[in-house]
Structure 1
């Protein structure tokens, strides 16, 4: 599969060179859910970018229901949108709705969540879970400095490919950096808890893991929210000292605040605002006949591990997330 990686400079160029025709631009934003701050920020950023370009905007929250999301897309198509930004509830289940929209002349851009490549969309814009994870794992190996890793793993939900890619990316980076830098890799995942991507879920899962495993020295979560919940469980148990807090992805403001003060180790860059803005710009390029001929079905944002050394470069106090 062809894919692109957009650097910060390329993103800036993309955003500065695309102009919309206000009278022709009608954007639909179909979100799987707005219940989580990450997705709320993504929708708000896409809406703001489209409105700034002079477009009219319709937005729908599927509330985690695939059937509702299919209906949302159909309703927006009937209303006359010509750009569709879609964060899919189900990679396979939304293919027919997306293909019908594309057949009607709507330019479809997928964001964040996987959509099967057989669907007729321009590109899927997301962060690289593998690249981010490997950078996070590399940081963790250096922070441990040859000491063994005794990991409590917090995962979102069973069978989720995003969560799988995130945890494997970190573990791959950790193992490789340990072997390369120290000649051995002493890594043990003591247990896996399922936190449903939420702060509350992370807290509950961590409470169970702490009971079973008193020698945890790393908490690895597939997103910041679960790690933030785990931190509360550690604090309540008097176990914060000596435990590194590591997230494979997101860049939530609360995590950034703790990274600044040294109370949270690292998180991978998964900026909802950047992804949403890029999606709108790609849609506008397609609408205006300016889409690059070599654009692939997958476009990655540039990866980064956010630590105390660089957190101020990424912190945005205006972001909802």
Structure 2
């Protein structure tokens, strides 16, 4: 079975039992494939703080978007004696040998956010449900546009990334299904796909190119908020914001929430980096403590689409992300 967990419920229980981990008993390594986007930076902070709150020593590493470096980071952490490894992997296949070696050395390995191939020897992948979030965003988009023909500029993160693929396909599935259900037809055209490398600057550059080739765009769909925020800047500079609806498959970046509150941005899928990181650390520490857990290779936080109607339930002006 796939396990869906409401963010924060298990983490609270872990903190209540945190005294079980003495400072010398628990050493957590947090291997991030990049800290080059606000989401990943916030996730690293949350993972470190969760492990420290449970009484563990913590080592963290930035893979700098380089798989070879991340492999070296993992090997260094294992050699240093970590007994829990939380990894956000650069590549679903390429990190498997290092992860398998860590598990063979007695390390409890949990993948978070970007997913490892399920053939690997690790406990579980912890993430938001990219497909479910995407479907909710797609349903909202169909209802919001009320059968209008959609010409969508798609902003994707990086080629071959399975998370990005799940996000865009989730949105398109939810959108087309809702259009068919509500209007008896689906009128959706992806006019072009740009690669924004998950960043605001990348989204801006990709949007400039797409807008030049396709001036009739009326929807921008991004695989994260950062790229859509960058796309918005490109649209504003071209005096093309009017009549273009901005949506993201996932993230919930603070700046996006602020624009959603102000009616300047349509919707985003809920992908709280702190909730994902806290849950990943929690799973790893429970494994270290010998606690039984009913987990498969995929453990999901609760999906949601964040819109102007419910953004106040999620917006935190003090959030790192």
TM-score (norm 1): 0.95
Mapped contact 1:18–1:284 kept (Cα < 8 A): no
Question: How many residue pairs are counted as aligned between the two chains?
Answer: 319
User: CA shift at 1:13, angstroms?
Assistant: 5.5
Alpha-carbon separation, structure 2, partners of 1:35 and 1:210: 26
Mapped contact 2:37–2:198 kept (Cα < 8 A): no
Map of 1:279-290 to 2, 5 A cutoff? Answer: 279-290=280-291
Deviation track 1:73-128 (CA, whole Å, cap 9, x = no partner) reads 12111211111111111211211211121112111111111112222111110111
1:3 paired to 2:2:
yes
Query: What is the aligned partner in structure 1 of residue 150 from structure 2?
Result: 149
Map of 1:1-321 to 2, 5 A cutoff? Answer: 2-8=1-7, 10-11=9-10, 14-15=13-14, 18-19=17-18, 20-22=20-22, 23-292=24-293, 294-321=294-321
Alpha-carbon separation, structure 2, partners of 1:129 and 1:227: 17
Q: Aligned-residue CA RMSD in angstroms?
A: 1.5
Alpha-carbon separation, structure 1, partners of 2:210 and 2:185: 26
Structure 1 regions of 5+ residues with no counterpart?
A: none
Change (3 A) 1:42 1:204: same
User: CA shift at 1:41, angstroms?
Assistant: 0.7
Structure 2 regions of 5+ residues with no counterpart?
A: none
TM-score (norm 2): 0.95
User: CA shift at 1:316, angstroms?
Assistant: 2.5
Matched residue SS, 2:60: strand
Matched residue SS, 1:176: helix
Matched residue SS, 2:86: strand
User: CA shift at 1:290, angstroms?
Assistant: 1.1
Deviation track 1:28-84 (CA, whole Å, cap 9, x = no partner) reads 111111121111111100000111111111111111222222221121112111111
Deviation track 1:294-314 (CA, whole Å, cap 9, x = no partner) reads 211110111110111111111
Alpha-carbon separation, structure 1, partners of 2:245 and 2:218: 6
Change (3 A) 1:282 1:9: closer
Mapped contact 2:134–2:167 kept (Cα < 8 A): yes
Mapped contact 2:276–2:301 kept (Cα < 8 A): yes
User: CA shift at 1:251, angstroms?
Assistant: 0.8
User: CA shift at 1:187, angstroms?
Assistant: 0.9
